[in-house]
A and B are shown apart, each in its own frame.
With several copies, the nearest count.
Chain A
Amino acid sequence: MSKKMPATPLLDQLESGPWPSFVTGLKRLANSKDARAGDQVKSLLGQLELSYETRKGYWKGGTVGVFGYGAGVIPRFSEVADKYPESAEFHTLRIMPAPAFFYDTKSLRDICDVWEEHGSGLIALHGQSGDIMLQGCTTDQVQKAWDKINAMGFDMGGAGAGIRTSAACVGPARCEHACYDTLTAMKTIIDDFVDDIHRPSLPYKAKFKFSGCANDCSNATQRSDYAIFGTWRDDMVVNQDEIKAKVAQLGRKEFINQVIRMCPTQALALNDDDTLDVDNKSCVRCMHCINVCTKALSPGNDRGITIRVGGKRTLKIGDLMGTVVVPFMKLDTEEDYEALLELAHRFLDFFADNALEHERTGEMIERIGLANYLEGLDLPLDLNMISQPRTNSYVRLDGWDEEARKWSERQTNAAE
């Protein structure tokens, strides 16, 4: 006979209102015919209600995993298992979805079936890093659930001090702004690092994220150690007829206000005949005017990627945004992809060799200085890496001539 539904007067208040309610979902699971999962979720509801009452959490970590991998399961043991025994264990399996979270219904249904059989039936689509999170598994079911999910063609995501599950924006699949193939880039890189995902042995976590343009729909800027953005080097593409149509639609004053005036570098001017005067040298590829005039403007044709390194959240020294380390790189041919992979490995090798324990890439760069980081990686200096040169004269310049010579040589070689 199955367990009684706990009283959840506080949680019940989350069933009112128009937004879909996870409480209703949990109750559906609790009432489901699968007695094991049902009891587990009833118990979970009891513990969660207790948290709402006391305003405290009751989970602790531990060690649970699957055979062959060192990460990917987030173990949760209840501190109030005496009161809520069926949810004493409530582990999460992190599973990597296809880039940009594409599914056919068949796969989704298959996942549901597995998770109904071996887990609680609760699935988060998706975690903030990008995992399918199968939540609520007892220790004894973890391997079973995993075996089936893995057999379906899905692999385990990251956790701990290793490479983490990645995320890419929808990119070329359905976005006209995409300046490179975010989906393929993510798959290529992450597939190459599966070992570092599954057997974490880095100083600390490391995340890649992929956004097809400066709009950064994957939140790569501050939420990934290695952030890859699409951009272009040549002139943006302008359809002057569509510009005129846009001016007509918004009115002159408003077009000036919304487009001309909002360009961060004053790269745009409106001609007296209502065509657009684009100063491409001043344009910083911010996407704004293109966003406003989706029909009239597009990124240029010489597209590629920019890599920014070091983004992360606040721990220890304060939030960091990724800063530019590779201003431009083509990403079209197989060789381009190989070059990117080679670079990604250099990033991670340097991180593995030089970061302190629990130090993220951005913190390491802050500690050693960007110039040393570049030197360590053998990456060429580029002016797009800085927003401005140093403003402080406290610097030792013995090596100036030698460094200046290096630059000039590079310039000459590039010109040849």
Chain B
Amino acid sequence: MSELRRPIESGVPDSKNFMHPMLVKNYGQWAWHDRPQPGVLRHVAKNGDTIYTVKAGSQRQLDVFAIREICDIADEFCEGYIRFTVRSSMEFMTTDETKVAPLIKRLEAAGYPVGGTGNSVGLISHTQGWLHCDIPGTDASGVVKALMDELFHEFKHEEMPNRVKITTSCCQINCGGQGDIAINVQHTKPPVINHDLVSMICERPTVVARCPVAAIRPAVVNGKPTLEVDEKKCVCCGACYPPCPPMQINDPINSKIAIWVGGKHSSTRSKPAFHKLVVAGLPNNAPRWPEVAEVVKQILAAYKQDARPWERMNEWIGRIGWPRFFEMTGLPFTKYHIDNWRGGRSNLNASTHLHF
């Protein structure tokens, strides 16, 4: 083992060292932008300087060979610069309009679809899943790949009313965050407790404190201190599992997939919104999750057909109403859709605003 070295606590690198010179030159001086075609942005500075961005999808979990090929392309077309977006898309920039078409060709030849700009379906947020996390109910890379295959056309075309942000999360913790459509694991049975392991490896007070509904209490089984779950109270959230893996929440059958819609971070037009449950109980059907893809496509088709320009998913449903959304998508409405969490009353219809 090499001799131990004190780290250089250098913090965050300076972006300007990695930026296309045209961006450095016009830093903070951009005037407007448009999109000459799907996948391409044109940003124009106050002084007229122009930069073209070609945006391409990626598999996020990149192997070094892929990254090197990406670098080759950036060297060839973009003076050796590249950036990634907050959604793991790749942005290739050039000041030379004539390079745009060949660049696109080159990217697509290498297998990287160009698109994801404007009112398209962007790259799905990507988490860890079975590839790396210690608590996943499903995979992440596989779900994203399977879905992006299905949504390929929508990535490459700007045919949606507004941007569509899809997120996936491989457990109820939901590292993927809020989305226009969020595809999240939803457990449906309380954890099965391995009592021997609990007494050995769990810090019990911590686990008890983690439960949102106080369903866990200390217990003694076979003379050993362990935990027990009040199954009537338990909401199967899985929050006890990370601090205490013997509280087995994952289950090949009962860890289902739920789809939520209408999450929104932006304060654009409407205030930010949390995503809302629309379907649960979908099977965790690796390797291609066809049932999930089906529902997502149904939702997108309805949105595409019916929403108006600039309406995000949540705004569209707000206008046409949830009754019509369920009607258009053919999804079942159940008592579970009625919010009963703290403050859930504010999700009831306390008005005479009605949609027929």
Contact = CB atoms under 8 A, between A and B. Distances in A.
Nearest to B176: A128
Interface in A64-95: 66-69, 74, 76, 90, 92
Contact of B335 (A56, A57, A61, A381): A381
B182 to A, nearest CB: 10
Contacts of A214: 266-268, 352-353
B330 to A, nearest CB: 9
Interface string A211-227: 00011111111110000
A316 B239 contact: yes
A253 interface: no
Contacts of A28: 63, 65-66
Instruction: Find the residue from A52, A104, A121, A123 having the highest chain B CB count within 10 A.
Output: A104
Interface in B78-106: 80-86, 88, 93
A382 interface: yes
A105 B75 CA distance: 7
A318 B32 CA distance: 39
Interface string A261-299: 011111100000000000001101111100110110010
A383 B322 contact: yes
Interface string A376-398: 00000111111111111111111
B31 A176 contact: yes
Contacts of B8: 150-151, 155
B301 interface: no
Interface string A191-221: 1001100100000000000000011111111
Contacts of A183: 15
A43 to B, nearest CB: 13
B311 to A, nearest CB: 8
B32 A176 contact: yes
Interface in A124-180: 124-126, 128, 130, 135, 140, 143-144, 146-147, 150-151, 153-156, 166-167, 169-170, 172-176, 178
Contact of B81 (A105, A223, A308): A105
A233 B356 contact: yes
Instruction: Find the residue from B74, B309, B348 having the highest chain A CB count within 10 A.
Output: B348
A141 to B, nearest CB: 10
A400 B281 contact: yes
Contacts of A125: 58, 60, 62, 67, 84, 88
A57 B59 contact: no
Given A59-B134, A318-B341, A408-B332, A174 B51 contact: yes
A306 B356 CA distance: 12
B139 A396 contact: no
A22 interface: yes
A324 B356 CA distance: 14
B7 A68 contact: yes
B310 A258 contact: yes
Range of interface residues on chain A? 35 or more
Given A100-B83, A383-B322, A22 B355 contact: no
A318 B341 CA distance: 8
Contact of A391 (B88, B274, B308): B274
Range of interface residues on chain B? 35 or more
Given A13-B288, A67-B4, A103-B83, A25 B63 contact: yes
A21 B112 CA distance: 10
A173 to B, nearest CB: 5
A219 B177 contact: yes
A285 B352 contact: yes
A333 interface: no
Nearest to A402: B334
Contact of B334 (A96, A153, A257, A381): A381
Contact of B7 (A66, A191, A288): A66
A222 B221 CA distance: 41
B76 to A, nearest CB: 10
B343 to A, nearest CB: 8
Given A121-B63, A387-B349, A398-B188, A223 B177 contact: yes
Instruction: Find the residue from B88, B149, B176, B286 having the highest chain A CB count within 10 A.
Output: B286
A184 to B, nearest CB: 9
B250 interface: yes
A408 B327 CA distance: 11
Nearest to B13: A98
B7 A390 contact: no
B117 interface: no
Interface string B41-76: 001000000010100011111111111101100110
A98 B14 contact: yes
Contacts of B350: 221, 308, 321-323, 387
Contacts of B287: 10-11, 13-14, 52
Instruction: Find the residue from B7, B63, B137 having the highest chain A CB count within 10 A.
Output: B63
Contacts of A220: 265
A11 B351 CA distance: 42
A313 B174 contact: yes
B296 to A, nearest CB: 14
A45 B87 CA distance: 25
A169 B64 contact: no
A243 interface: no
Given A19-B113, A292-B310, A104 B18 contact: yes
B354 A327 contact: yes
Contact of B349 (A218, A323, A328): A323
A1 interface: no
B268 A288 contact: yes
Contacts of B263: 222
Contacts of B227: none
Nearest to A314: B174
Contacts of B352: 214, 216, 221, 229, 231, 285-286, 306, 308, 324
B217 interface: no
Given A55-B284, A393-B258, A176 B30 contact: yes
28 contacts: A20-B111, A25-B63, A32-B65, A48-B131, A92-B132, A99-B15, A104-B82, A108-B67, A124-B88, A126-B60, A126-B88, A150-B8, A155-B9, A174-B30, A187-B14, A214-B353, A216-B268, A217-B86, A222-B177, A234-B356, A294-B32, A316-B210, A366-B345, A371-B340, A385-B338, A387-B351, A397-B186, A397-B256
The 6 closest A-B pairs by CB, nearest first: A17-B149, A55-B252, A51-B130, A25-B63, A403-B334, A191-B11
